[in-house]
Structure 1
Amino acid sequence: MRLTLHTDYALRTLLYLGARPDTRASIRDIAEAYKISENHLVKVVHRLGQGEFIKTIRGRGGGLILGHPPAEIIIGSVVRFTEEDMMLVDCDGVSSGGRACLLAPDCRLRGVLGEALNAFLSVLDHYTLADLLRPADLTRLFPELGPVRS
């Protein structure tokens, strides 16, 4: 399974904000830190705000902050919320113009892949943003921050 760029950027945004619990960040700050598209990041931030993973504060002194403490942000929940289509195979023909797979009536692949997807998400459900915020790693990745606390 491959996560979309949208989910990748969402996770990166949460890591960036989690590394700076006392600082409000801008979309530009995050885009520059990761060297990613600011335009695409606007959509990601909007979606994260809809899911209450982050808070957006408007006006002077505004910016982005986490919506919950890092220990309460479950990675599996973020992935489920940001991935639009977790379908591993197109048995019903949804993305192929409505032509269902000829094997669909007797094929067990869909069940096996569904089980694999559930296992994948189950592993992600065991981790929170706090688990991913190792201060030494973040200090190395973002030296401009100085020492990072989690």
Structure 2
Amino acid sequence: MRLNLHTDYALRILMYLATKSDQAPVDEIAGAYGISRNHLMKVARSLVELQLIEARRGRSGGFALAVAPEAINVGFVVRKLESLESFVECFDRGSNSCPVAGACGLQGALNGALAAFLDKLDEYMLSDLLPDRNRFLRQLKAFDQAPNSPKTSPIAA
């Protein structure tokens, strides 16, 4: 299973904001991960709608966590941002065209695996994803300064 980029970036944004005591400008977050500002804004909008982050407008604006990292459940974030009902075709009754749906055990097996995956994520809060805040920030800084990072790569320019 692979999370979509929207969910991946959402978790990255939340982790980044959890390292900040105040707010972080959009360009700072986008630069830290080497992702486009426009894509980051789309993802951030989803997090604002979920009331996990706040958007602050203006010259010194940016994003900040709306709730404490200890109160943000990773499983909740994934459930809200992933299209889990279409994990496989037979999960969606409306578009299922599998000729053996209901006669095989694949749907049950995958449903159980997905439930176990989400149950495991439910055990984690955002704060658990940052056991060493300083190391996390050092790694991001090293990535930002690396010769082949998206920010410093001639291809990204």
TM-score by length of 1: 0.85
Deviation by residue 1:23-44 (Cα, 9 ceiling, x = unmatched): 3112211110000121111110
Equivalent residue, structure 1, for 2:147: none
Report the secondary structure of 1:91's partner residue: helix
Distance 1:114 1:92, change over 3 A: closer
Answer whether contact 2:33 2:140 (CA < 8 A) is retained.
no
Structure 1 portions without partners, runs of 5+? 145-150
Confirm or deny that 1:110 pairs with 2:133.
no
Equivalent residue, structure 2, for 1:138: 136
* 2: CA distance, partners of 1:83 / 1:54: 18
Percent of pairs with identical residues:
44
Alignment of 1:52-131 (within 5 A): 52-91=51-90, 98=95, 100-131=97-128
Measured after TM superposition, the shift of residue 135 of structure 1 is 2.0
* 1: CA distance, partners of 2:126 / 2:80: 15
Partner AA of 2:14 in structure 1? L
Distance 1:68 1:82, change over 3 A: same
Distance 1:61 1:38, change over 3 A: closer
Measured after TM superposition, the shift of residue 142 of structure 1 is 3.6
* 1: CA distance, partners of 2:58 / 2:77: 27
Partner AA of 1:91 in structure 2? C
Equivalent residue, structure 2, for 1:148: none
Measured after TM superposition, the shift of residue 9 of structure 1 is 0.4
Partner AA of 1:115 in structure 2? G
TM-score by length of 2: 0.81
Partner AA of 1:141 in structure 2? Q
Partner AA of 1:14 in structure 2? L
Measured after TM superposition, the shift of residue 140 of structure 1 is 2.2
Equivalent residue, structure 1, for 2:36: 37
Distance 1:111 1:40, change over 3 A: same
